[in-house]
Amino acid sequence: MSISVRRLSYGIGAEVLGVDLRRPLPGEDIATIRRAWVDNGILLLRDQNITPEQHIAFSARFGKLDDHSALFKYRHPQHPEIFIVSTKPNADGSPSDTRETGVNWHSDLSYTLRPAMGSLLYCREIPDVGGDTQFANMFLAYQTLSEGMKKMIEPLQAVHDYAWAIHDTEKGRDSAKAEAHKKVNPPVKQPMVRVHPETGRKALYVSEGITTHIAGMNHDESRAILSYLFEHSVRPENTYRHHWRPQDLILWDNRSVMHKALRDRVPGTHRHMHRTTVLGEPSGELYKA
Ligand SMILES: O=C(O)CCC(=O)C(=O)O
Ligand SMILES: [Fe+2]
């Protein structure tokens, strides 16, 4: 069966048909998938009845995988390459720590000096309604800015801080947790406009969930500019919203895409996902206030 690719929406994404990840794919199919992935930002592969081993093996064709040491509590017990995002309570009945993972717009690991190239999220369980994920095309977000705005932000860097990312959970600001994370993940400065290493295209690289302010500006100045950019990035025509089916696998390119897990879960229903993470190129530098 040969591979075909069809677009999912105006703004972002494509579905890949004709692949079965239970068997290793030939190199030319991996090259086709990688090209479609980079060009479309996200790829959907439906009906993949795969084991964690097959998920890891496919992911590793695209680069070195993260062992999720920064998020060690939520790793799969047998497979550190798999990060579990689940709403299901823990064995002792306490709520899952990852029930609120990714609920604000972000790009994976942008708060580190080696942000993720790609993430591959696999759906194991999903309710009929809710549990959706939304994606935004940051190439398009950059392209649709005015020339004046592009010129102004191009040389700037912005601060990405994981402690900020986790402050806004159901529990409110959990400073003990935020402080512990700050030690592992101190704030970093990232370029506001990132040049995609494979295509040379420019993408906007700030996100509401993780970016605190623009380096070298005061918070009021910074807030005005960032608020505009956040709003601009996630205009509906720039995004795609996915309602998952079990056995869907979605790949996103963190260098040109932001994503967000929607808070649309119907009480009493549950969702269980497995993610692998492909490491990317080094980017940014440590931020000293
Ligand atoms: O669960 C989701 O829909 C996305 C969670 C997330 O941000 C991630 O796995 O990177
Ligand atoms: Fe994420």
DSSP state of 75: B
Q: Over the stretch 51-101, which tens digit does the pLDDT of each residue have?
A: 999 999 999 999 999 998 877 778 999 999 999 999 999 889 999 989 989
Arithmetic mean of pLDDT, 241-247: 98
Ligand 1 atom with minimal separation from the 108 CA: 10
Q: Does the structure show a pLDDT above 70 at 169? A: no
pLDDT band of 156, cuts 50, 70, 90: very high
State the amino acid at position 80 in one-letter form.
P
Confidence of residue 1 (pLDDT cuts 50, 70, 90): low
DSSP collapsed to 3 states, 218-270: CHHHHHHHHHHHHHHHCCHHHEEEECCCCCCEEEEECCCEEEEECCCCCCCCC
Using a pLDDT cut of 90, give the percent of the chain over it: 85
Enter the pTM of the model.
Answer: 0.95
Helix (H) or strand (E) holding 111: none
User: For domain 4-87+97-280, which architecture applies?
Assistant: 4-Layer Sandwich (3.60)
Catalytic residue among 108, 161, 248, 253: 108
| Strand partners for 151 | none
User: Looking at residue 165, what is its pLDDT?
Assistant: 74
Domain ranges of the chain: 4-87+97-280
Q: What is the mean pLDDT of residues 191-214?
A: 97
Give the pLDDT score at 255.
98
Quick one: pLDDT at residue 35?
Answer: 97
Mean pLDDT rounded to a whole number for the chain: 94
Distance in angstroms (rounded) separating the CA atoms of residues 7 and 93: 42
pLDDT the model gives residue 56 = 98
Q: How far is the CA of 148 from the centre of ligand 2 (A)?
A: 31
* Pocket mutation for ligand 1, best pick of 133, 239, 264 (most atoms within 8 Å of C-beta): 133
Q: Contact 254/116 with Cβ under 8 angstroms?
A: yes
Provide Rg for the chain, Cα atoms: 18
Q: What ligand is nearest to the CA atom of residue 119?
A: 1
Q: What value does the mean pLDDT take over residues 19-32?
A: 97
pLDDT score, position 167: 64
